Structure 1
Amino acid sequence: MGDRRGVLFDVDGTLVDTTYLHTVCWWSALRECGHDVPMAAVHRAVGMGGDRIPGHLLGEDRDVRQDDVLRETHRALYAGYHDRLRLLPGARELLFACAERGLVVVLASSADEAELDVLRKVLDADDAITAATSSADADSSKPAPDILEAALAQSGVDPARAVFVGDSVWDVAAAGRLDIPCTGLTCGGTSKGELAGAGAVAVYEDPASLLAALDESPLGLLR
C-alpha cells in the first residue's frame, strides 16, 4: 500500500455497458446445462465473481461438476459480444477528469485477462489509467475484497485516501470490507435504494452524472 489518493473503478456495468450482456450469457449457459433460472435472479448475481455465480444461483446441493462448464459456456457466449461493446455515457471523460485532478485512476476489474484487454480497448483511456487488475490478481472474488487489495497494491493508493466506484451490491460489499467508501452507479441496473441500502455513500445514474457533480462528489472531496 502507498500514500497516494485515488479512485478504484469497477469496469463491467460501471464504465462499459455489459451487465445485461453478462446476464443473458449466464442465463443461456444455465439453460444449456438444464437450469431454468429467472433472468432477474441472474441479473442480481452479476457483479460477484463468476466462480461464485453457479453456487449462488443453484445452491450448495447442485452438481458442482457443471460449474466449469457453466463458466466456459458463459465465457464463449459473451465473447460473441466483444466487438459490440459500448461505453456508458461519460466513462472515458470521467477517467481523464479524475487523472487531471491528480487522482490515481485504477481499474479494479475481476474480468479475466483476455476480457480486460477488450474492455481497455473499448475505454481507450490508457493515458489516464495507472494500473488495472484482472481475475488473476485475486485469490477470492467479490464480494471478497481481494481485487481491491490488489488494485491498491499495484497503484500505491492509500486505502484511507481511496474511493471505489461500482454498480452492484457486490462492489459495495467488497469496498466495505476494507472500509473504503463506495460510490454507486445505477447504470448496471441496480437501483439507488439497493446500492444505498448496501452501504454506498453516494449514488449517481452513470459516469456522466458523476462527472457533472465531480467536485462535490466523494471523488472530488478526496484529500
Structure 2
Amino acid sequence: MSGGGTGRAVLFDVDGTLVDTTYLHTVAWWEALRQAGRRVPMSLIHRTIGMGSDQLLDRLLGEDHDPAEAGAVTAAHRTLYAEYWPRLAPLEGAAELLRACAERGWTVVLASSAHGDELAVMRRAVGADDVVAGATSSDDVEASKPAPDLVVSALDRAGVAPDRAVFVGDTVWDVAACERAGVPCLGVLSGGLTRQELLDAGAVEVYENPADLLARLDDSLLGRSPGTA
C-alpha cells in the first residue's frame, strides 16, 4: 500500500527517458530474435520497447509461444545489450532535471522495467544518485509495464499516495501503467514515439527530452511547489 505522506514525488522511467537506450534495446532484441530464427522488423520491436520482456515477447512471438524459446531470446538479448553498458550515455539535461526537481522539494524516485543490474549501470551513466531517494526495477514486481506494479512500487518507495506524484516516461506503456495507478504522466519524445501517440495514450504534457522539460520546468506540472493544489 502506498504511503500517505504530505510531500510530493516525481517518478522517472529510465530507459529512453533519462538514458539514450531505446534503439540499443531495439537492435539487441532484433539480433536475439534472429538468433532464434525469428525475423521481426525493427519497426515492430521499437513499438514494444518499454514493456517488460515477458509482455514484449507475447507481442512479438504470440501468446502461445514456446516458453523455452522466449527464455533463450531473453537471455540472448541480455547478453547482447550488456555489450553496450560501458558506453551508455544520459540524455541531455537528465542529471540536471533530477537535481532541479529535488531542489524544488520533489522526492525523486526511479521506476525502471530493467533488471536491477541494468538499472545500476544506467544510474551510474546519469550521475545524479545524490538526489535519488529510491529506485525500483522489474526485480521488485510481479507484473511489468503496462501493468501498474512498477508505478505502485515507486509510490511505496516515495511514501506518497498517487495524487501526490507525477511520472515522467517516454512510452505509451508508461502512460498506461500510470493511468492504472492513478498517477499523471508527463511524456518525453526521446524514446522515439510521436507527441500525438503519447497524448492519445493519456499523457498530460509532452516534451522533446529531459533538457526541454528542464527548460520549461516552472511552467510544467512539476513547476508547482510540493503541497500546493
When normalised by structure 1's length, the TM-score is 0.98
Asked if residue 211 in structure 1 is aligned to residue 204 in structure 2, the reply is no
- The one-letter code sitting in structure 1 at the alignment partner of 2:129 is D
CA contact (8 A) 1:104 1:157 kept: no
Question: Deviation per CA, 1:7-28, whole angstroms, max 9, x where unpaired?
Answer: 0000000000000000000011
Aligned structure 1 segments of 4 or more residues deviating by more than 4 angstroms = none
**Aligned counterpart, 2:223:** 220
Partner Cα separation in structure 2 for residue 22 and residue 194 of structure 1: 20
Match of 2:60 among 48, 57, 60: 57
Partner Cα separation in structure 1 for residue 128 and residue 157 of structure 2: 18
Residues 141-220 of structure 1 aligned to structure 2 (within 5 Å): 141-220=144-223
Question: Deviation per CA, 1:96-119, whole angstroms, max 9, x where unpaired?
Answer: 000000000000112111111101
- The one-letter code sitting in structure 2 at the alignment partner of 1:26 is W
**Aligned counterpart, 1:40:** 43
Partner Cα separation in structure 2 for residue 145 and residue 16 of structure 1: 22
Q: Identity rate of aligned residues, in percent? A: 58
Partner Cα separation in structure 1 for residue 148 and residue 106 of structure 2: 21
Alpha-carbon distance, 1:136 to partner? 1.4
Partner Cα separation in structure 1 for residue 63 and residue 189 of structure 2: 30
Alpha-carbon distance, 1:60 to partner? 2.0
Asked if residue 71 in structure 1 is aligned to residue 66 in structure 2, the reply is no
Partner Cα separation in structure 2 for residue 210 and residue 156 of structure 1: 25
Alpha-carbon distance, 1:159 to partner? 1.1
Question: Deviation per CA, 1:19-64, whole angstroms, max 9, x where unpaired?
Answer: 0000000011011001101100000000001121111111123223
Asked if residue 21 in structure 1 is aligned to residue 24 in structure 2, the reply is yes
CA contact (8 A) 1:2 1:153 kept: no
Structure 1: 5+ residue stretches without partners: none
Partner Cα separation in structure 2 for residue 155 and residue 176 of structure 1: 18
**Aligned counterpart, 1:123:** 126
Partner Cα separation in structure 1 for residue 99 and residue 63 of structure 2: 43
Partner Cα separation in structure 1 for residue 107 and residue 206 of structure 2: 21
- The one-letter code sitting in structure 1 at the alignment partner of 2:195 is K
Question: Deviation per CA, 1:103-139, whole angstroms, max 9, x where unpaired?
Answer: 0000011211111110111111111100001111111
Asked if residue 2 in structure 1 is aligned to residue 4 in structure 2, the reply is yes
RMSD between aligned residues: 0.9
What is the total number of aligned residue pairs between the two structures? 223
3-state SS of 2:163 partner:
strand
When normalised by structure 2's length, the TM-score is 0.95
Partner Cα separation in structure 2 for residue 22 and residue 83 of structure 1: 15
Alpha-carbon distance, 1:157 to partner? 2.3
Question: Deviation per CA, 1:56-106, whole angstroms, max 9, x where unpaired?
Answer: 111123223211111110000000000111010100000000000000000
- The one-letter code sitting in structure 2 at the alignment partner of 1:85 is L
Structure 2: 5+ residue stretches without partners: none
